[in-house]
Amino acid sequence: MDVREMKAGDTLWLEDGSVVQVIAASTDGESVRVKYLESMFDAALVGTEANCTDYEIISYADRSDNADTSTR
């Protein structure tokens, strides 16, 4: 997925099954700053922030937890 097109507020699925929300758009074109909303395998990640690259992002997610693989 092209991280340069992601905007603050977008909700994403990561490859590990986590759901994150973009909090800062890409400034380098390679990663976005996200906040963990859900983490299936590590509850301690919920509420934390991280940088994610396009390799970690699977798709956009909607709030009903259905993956949306379409591009925006």
The tens digit of pLDDT for each residue in 2-29 reads: 899 999 999 999 999 999 999 998 888 8
Beta-strand (E) ranges in 6-65?
A: 11-14, 19-24, 31-38, 49-53, 57-61
Distance CA 42, CA 64 (A): 20
Q: CATH fold of 3-63, please? A: SH3 type barrels. (2.30.30)
Q: Identify the helix (H) or strand (E) that includes residue 68.
A: strand 67-68
**Within 10 A of 41 (CB to CB), how many other CB atoms are there?**
8
User: Where in the chain are the domains?
Assistant: 3-63
Mean pLDDT of 56-67: 75
Q: Which pLDDT score is estimated for 48?
A: 98
Q: How many CA atoms lie within 13 A of 21 on its CB side?
A: 12
